[in-house]
A and B are shown apart, each in its own frame.
Chain A
């Protein structure tokens, strides 16, 4: 059974800092891995999708990497801003999409 873990559960950083969010999964037989953003009281917005054959994807200040052999993905946020404050979730697709519990990020001005 696929299990997805995100550490840390919460993170507070000052504005401008570069940061890394972590996602680990137990079954490497996946089609893809996605990172989502969720603002309070809202639905989820897809940020980056990494196919199983890819190592990383980039969008603006965001970079996501995937290492299937070790069951790990990281989301790197460069030059963080208060508007980046949200909960970030990773989800692994091995036929069914299984979510981690998320990392709640707070970026202080």
Chain B
């Protein structure tokens, strides 16, 4: 099993550009989520999904869109990138969506918005 795979690992964008961060897991997990990690702010939940076709907002959803068309994939879209979205983004998955259980993380995607 590859676990949770994130691509790309590094990305530089200009303000106003759009892009998609990809996340895939091969563990048949129901629960998937996106976090951003910033110095002094810890990890903050952006969006999460409890199964295919179901998504919901986390703490900091503004500026980001998600969709969950399959169990395996949970892409995060930045529609119009802003410098405030410079961060490290982590995708995580868990077997269940109530009482999430052990959470498995990807290696992260480092995004810089100029």
Q: By the criterion CB–CB under 8 Å, are A42 and B108 in contact?
A: yes
Residues of B within 8 A of A42 (CB): 107-108
- Give the residue of A31, A46, A98, A101 whose beta carbon is less than 8 angstroms from that of B102: A46
| Chain A binding surface SS class | strand
Q: By the criterion CB–CB under 8 Å, are A97 and B42 in contact?
A: no
Q: How many residues of B contact A (CB 8 A)?
A: 25
- Does A26 sit within 8 A of B, measured CB to CB? no
- Does B103 sit within 8 A of A, measured CB to CB? yes
Q: By the criterion CB–CB under 8 Å, are A93 and B99 in contact?
A: yes
Contacts known (A31-B100, A97-B33); A43 close to B108, Cβ less than 8 A? yes
CA A36 to CA B48, docked complex, whole Å: 19
Nearest-neighbour CB distance to chain A for B88, whole angstroms, equals 9
Residues of A within 8 A of B58 (CB): 96
- Does A44 sit within 8 A of B, measured CB to CB? yes
Contacts known (A89-B42, A99-B42); A43 close to B100, Cβ less than 8 A? no
Q: By the criterion CB–CB under 8 Å, are A34 and B90 in contact?
A: no
- Give the residue of A32, A43, A102 whose beta carbon is less than 8 angstroms from that of B99: A32
Q: By the criterion CB–CB under 8 Å, are B45 and A45 in contact?
A: no
Q: How many residues of A contact B (CB 8 A)?
A: 22
Residues of A within 8 A of B108 (CB): 41-43
Q: By the criterion CB–CB under 8 Å, are A93 and B41 in contact?
A: no
Q: By the criterion CB–CB under 8 Å, are A44 and B90 in contact?
A: yes
CA A83 to CA B30, docked complex, whole Å: 33
CA A97 to CA B99, docked complex, whole Å: 9
Task: List 10 interface pairs A-B (beta carbons < 8 Å), by A numbering.
Answer: A31-B99, A31-B100, A42-B107, A42-B108, A43-B107, A91-B103, A96-B45, A97-B33, A99-B43, A99-B44
Residues on B close to A: CB < 8 A? 4, 33, 35, 40-45, 48, 58-59, 90, 92, 98-108
Residues on A close to B: CB < 8 A? 31-32, 34, 36, 41-46, 49, 51, 89, 91, 93, 96-102
